[in-house]
A and B are shown apart, each in its own frame.
Chain A
Amino acid sequence: MRQFIQDIAENSHYRATHLLQILRQVQSRYHYIPEEAIAQLSGLLNIPRTQIISVIEFYSFLHLTPRGQYELLISDSITDHMLGKKDLFDYLAKKLDIAVGEVRKDGLVSLDNTSCTGMCDQGPAGLVNGYALTRLDCAGIDKIAELINQQKPLNEWPSELFQVDDNIYKPGLLLSQQIEQGAALKSAFKRGIKETLKEIDYSGLRGRGGAGFKTAIKWQFCSEEQQAERYVVCNADEGEPGTFKDRVLLNSYADQVFEGMTVCAAIIGARQGFLYLRGEYLHLHDKLQTILDQRRQNGLLGNNILGAGLYFDIEIRLGAGAYICGEESALIESLEGKAGVPRNRPPYPVTQGYLGKPTVVNNVETFLAAACIAVNGGDWFASIGTEKSKGTKILSISGDCAQPGIYEYPFGTTIQTVLNDCGASDVLGVQIGGPSGTFISNQELERKLAFEDLATGGSFIVFNSSRNILDVVHNFTHFFAHESCGFCTPCRVGTSLLKKQIDKIVEGHGSAGDIVALEELCQLVKNYSHCGLGQTAANPILTTLERYLGLYENQLKEISFEPGFDLDGALEIARRMANRYDAGAHLAQTDESGSRPIASLPPSLAVGE
């Protein structure tokens, strides 16, 4: 092990910024991060061991204790559940003779849940040692169990288990036109760098991650900074459940994305770029690396790009299972090899980003659009869309529809149009923009895709009338509690309180005051959290409470108060100690006729009654 750690540290030039990448390799080799590795890395990278442990304990894909040689994770996205995840998961656990969250006694396999893996159009999905598994069914699971028990290496597993399809059903402005490698850069150099920024400005392009900051302004701010060293970062950490468009863009349009990053570098004066690829997309890594190599060979990256004197290169950095790293300042922390905790702002990344230097962070789709605009000009893009939302939006559509996949629409398109195209019928509602977005009911289908109406980073999940909205809310609320980074009080404690409170109501233990308490808590988490995660974590509850209050109320008991814990259950230890199991040794949870708890205290305990 010493030599292995020594080699990877050396390959990373002993830089602490590479800690996360190094730990990923250790995890992949040993299926945990052994104590000896921590001690050795602490010395080699000259960082305290606590820094290493805090990174390991932050990312879901890194572990301090051994996982199986086959680390199986099954996606827990609502879309996987809609495709029968629960039964499959049980089947898998039984087949492998393993409990969820555990490592099998022989150490061969471990099984757990994981947040949405970005395969919602081809779920139920999972990961084995980081590699995506798609379209899981009983036959597939039988096969997987057999392969694991035979200890077959992953490269000998049948490729259909890992097959990931693009599923592009409706290409629009951006997807229908593959621009030639280098074309955007040639156009940009020919037109002039400043003029190209102007074209991007004319295009009205706004960030495609969901927040919608104007791209040209971000680039201009960064280019005006005093410090000479600057960075371009492509945010490919699409962790919002229901989003998978970046997976497709990087699989089939990567050249254009890299080209957009290079145009950005030329404009802001950056020499180094990063593609921050979510760990769940490990299957894309080698392919993307090959494309980067090709681009270097073709004079599109590296020294003197296209003879124009520009130096720029791109490095791929992998995430390790943390939704919060999609937040740009958390992403930068992660790039620096640290836990992905969002920074205080100001300063913003355009002033002080990666290593404190001016940094532009944009979504994959934004860079793709920028490359296309560099070729076709700003008017080409601006002529489509609405006044405030120019161009098109690429949607990842999943859930109850005939053809889940990728669809591109001009901004301003109605939700009904989208639903017609993807073959959705009997629609109950649509989750737009993922759990952090908005749930709209079937009474609002004439609303439009646009920053000024329904903004989305691309997630579009359809629910038909067979679905229970509270199941959806339950899943999303648990997701946020799991993904909260824990930095600030309102989100760290608040998301867990929301989880408890929604569980209480869904499980039928709620009473009249509980919905008021729930809403109050939602407002607190929304208004006081440090970053977008906490500020949107209550959206699943708030947007459905607003529309389906009756649904929540139906869950409540006809009493004004019910305690959040199990009174009778709390007596279990006492019963065992006293060896008493008669009726008198039990407590009713509540006096069903009124609000007062405790109906049947045993006489010996009913002092003063």
Chain B
Amino acid sequence: MSKTITIDGKVIPFEEGQTIMEAATAAGIYIPHLCHQPEFTPHGSCKLCTVKVNGRNCSACTFPAMDGQDVLSETEELIDDRRKITQMLFVEGNHLCPGCEKTGNCQLQAVAYHLNMLDNHFPLFYPDREVDASHPDVMLDRNRCILCTLCVRASQQKDGKNVFAVSGRGIHKHLIVNSDSGLLKDTDLEATDRAAHICPTGAILIKRTGYRVPIGERIYDHKEIDQVSLEAEHVKHGE
């Protein structure tokens, strides 16, 4: 008998060593997430994937699946709170969707749509954040950074480099790059690096590719993020 957990009443199998997120994705169940990508070591920081495991809040992307767990995900309370956490990410940075090249392809925006976020709810921070356009092929706009560290992990784990890091403390946390000048142009980042393409928002963009796909024909213009996410990340058992 394979071991199982229950997510919102549905019994799903899991393999030893899988996280709740991995088990859910394999079973075709979407749990909202932004800092998680199956290719990289889970980070557990955005907290969007919070689920109730036997009555306790846990991050699905880092918490191990264990036989008999009763997991709640799509409850009214969790959906409401995930929306508020998404709103926190919006007010913390400067996210101006209508003027952003990433609109329609942005996971932050898509998660907000999925959670039916209609306003910012919280007061905006309007932080002063640096834009780095120095690199010939890659643009870094920290206004849109949500500190998910996917670029940090992609650079380390896929590209074998160390281009990005997160520095600072608390609300002053920010993305830094690995060069003496502190500028992207002096790092060894290349436009073909995984790190240059991993950003879930529009903080890291490839230059001279903007608007090639018109607004209205972009990923999340026609599909919801749960569907897109499961299609991309879904790995069936045994594959």
Residues of chain A having any CB pair with chain B under 8 Å: 35, 39, 48-51, 53-54, 57-58, 322, 339, 344, 346, 481-490, 492-497, 500, 521, 524, 527-530, 564-565
B39-47, B206-214, B221-229: which lies at the interface: B39-47
* A492 contact set on B, CB distance < 8 A: 92, 147, 170-171, 173
What distance in Å separates the Cβ of B175 from its nearest Cβ neighbour in chain A?
Answer: 10
B85, B167, B177 pick with most chain A CB within 10 angstroms: B167
Mark contacts of B162-178 with chain A using CB atoms, 8 A cut-off: 1 yes-contact digit, 0 otherwise.
10111111111100111
B165 touches A54 (CB 8 A): yes
Mark contacts of B23-66 with chain A using CB atoms, 8 A cut-off: 1 yes-contact digit, 0 otherwise.
00000000000000000001011111010000001010010100
If A50-B177, A497-B123, A530-B45 touch, whether A484 touches B170 (CB-CB below 8 Å) is yes
Specify which of B42, B48, B84, B167 is in contact with A524 (CB 8 Å cutoff). B84
B165 touches A57 (CB 8 A): no
B164 touches A50 (CB 8 A): yes
A530 touches B46 (CB 8 A): no
How many angstroms between the C-alpha atoms of A180 and B92 in the bound complex? 56
Specify which of B47, B88, B167, B171 is in contact with A54 (CB 8 Å cutoff). B167
What distance in Å separates the Cβ of A563 from its nearest Cβ neighbour in chain B?
Answer: 9
* A344 contact set on B, CB distance < 8 A: 42, 44, 59, 62
A50 touches B169 (CB 8 A): no
Q: For A563, give the chain B residue with the smallest CB separation.
A: B123
How many angstroms between the C-alpha atoms of A585 and B46 in the bound complex? 44
If A344-B62, A528-B85 touch, whether A39 touches B180 (CB-CB below 8 Å) is yes
Q: For A497, give the chain B residue with the smallest CB separation.
A: B122
Interface residue SS majority, chain A: helix
Specify which of B48, B89, B169, B177 is in contact with A57 (CB 8 Å cutoff). B169
Specify which of B47, B62, B162 is in contact with A48 (CB 8 Å cutoff). B162
What distance in Å separates the Cβ of B1 from its nearest Cβ neighbour in chain A?
Answer: 24
B50 touches A493 (CB 8 A): no
If A484-B169, A496-B125, A524-B81 touch, whether A346 touches B176 (CB-CB below 8 Å) is no
Residues of chain B having any CB pair with chain A under 8 Å: 42, 44-48, 50, 57, 59, 62, 64, 81, 84-85, 88-89, 91-92, 122-123, 125, 147, 162, 164-173, 176-178, 180
Specify which of A48, A57, A486, A489 is in contact with B46 (CB 8 Å cutoff). A489
How many angstroms between the C-alpha atoms of A481 and B171 in the bound complex? 8
A527 touches B42 (CB 8 A): no
* 10 residue pairs, one from A and one from B, having the closest CB atoms: A50-B165, A486-B173, A493-B88, A54-B167, A484-B170, A344-B62, A48-B162, A496-B171, A486-B170, A57-B167
Specify which of A57, A339, A493, A527 is in contact with B91 (CB 8 Å cutoff). A493
If A48-B162, A494-B88, A524-B85 touch, whether A346 touches B170 (CB-CB below 8 Å) is no
* B162 contact set on A, CB distance < 8 A: 48, 50
If A487-B45, A489-B85, A492-B92 touch, whether A50 touches B178 (CB-CB below 8 Å) is yes
What distance in Å separates the Cβ of B204 from its nearest Cβ neighbour in chain A?
Answer: 16
CB contacts between A and B, total, < 8 Å? 109
Q: For B57, give the chain A residue with the smallest CB separation.
A: A527
A496 touches B170 (CB 8 A): yes
* A482 contact set on B, CB distance < 8 A: 170
A528 touches B164 (CB 8 A): no
* B164 contact set on A, CB distance < 8 A: 50
* B62 contact set on A, CB distance < 8 A: 344
* A495 contact set on B, CB distance < 8 A: 170-171
* B48 contact set on A, CB distance < 8 A: 489
* B81 contact set on A, CB distance < 8 A: 524, 527-528
Q: For B156, give the chain A residue with the smallest CB separation.
A: A48
Q: For A523, give the chain B residue with the smallest CB separation.
A: B81
13 examples of A-B residue contacts, CB within 8 angstroms: A39-B180, A53-B167, A57-B172, A483-B170, A486-B147, A486-B168, A486-B171, A488-B47, A489-B45, A489-B46, A490-B47, A490-B85, A528-B81
How many angstroms between the C-alpha atoms of A51 and B125 in the bound complex? 27
How many angstroms between the C-alpha atoms of A528 and B85 in the bound complex? 9
Q: For B179, give the chain A residue with the smallest CB separation.
A: A49
What distance in Å separates the Cβ of B180 from its nearest Cβ neighbour in chain A?
Answer: 7
If A493-B171, A497-B123 touch, whether A50 touches B176 (CB-CB below 8 Å) is yes
Specify which of A53, A500, A528, A564 is in contact with B57 (CB 8 Å cutoff). A528
How many angstroms between the C-alpha atoms of A214 and B8 in the bound complex? 34
Q: For A525, give the chain B residue with the smallest CB separation.
A: B88
* A529 contact set on B, CB distance < 8 A: 47
* B180 contact set on A, CB distance < 8 A: 35, 39, 49
Q: For A322, give the chain B residue with the smallest CB separation.
A: B169
Q: For A499, give the chain B residue with the smallest CB separation.
A: B171
Q: For A482, give the chain B residue with the smallest CB separation.
A: B170
Known A50-B162, A492-B170; 9 more pairs at CB < 8 Å: A50-B176, A485-B169, A487-B45, A488-B47, A495-B170, A524-B81, A524-B84, A530-B45, A530-B59
* A49 contact set on B, CB distance < 8 A: 178, 180
How many angstroms between the C-alpha atoms of A500 and B47 in the bound complex? 22
If A49-B180, A53-B176, A494-B88 touch, whether A486 touches B44 (CB-CB below 8 Å) is no
How many angstroms between the C-alpha atoms of A50 and B44 in the bound complex? 21
A481 touches B170 (CB 8 A): yes
How many angstroms between the C-alpha atoms of A529 and B169 in the bound complex? 15
How many angstroms between the C-alpha atoms of A529 and B88 in the bound complex? 13
What distance in Å separates the Cβ of A485 from its nearest Cβ neighbour in chain B?
Answer: 6
How many angstroms between the C-alpha atoms of A521 and B47 in the bound complex? 15
What distance in Å separates the Cβ of B174 from its nearest Cβ neighbour in chain A?
Answer: 8
If A492-B92, A564-B123 touch, whether A58 touches B167 (CB-CB below 8 Å) is yes
What distance in Å separates the Cβ of B221 from its nearest Cβ neighbour in chain A?
Answer: 26
B89 touches A493 (CB 8 A): yes
* B91 contact set on A, CB distance < 8 A: 493, 497
How many angstroms between the C-alpha atoms of A310 and B152 in the bound complex? 43
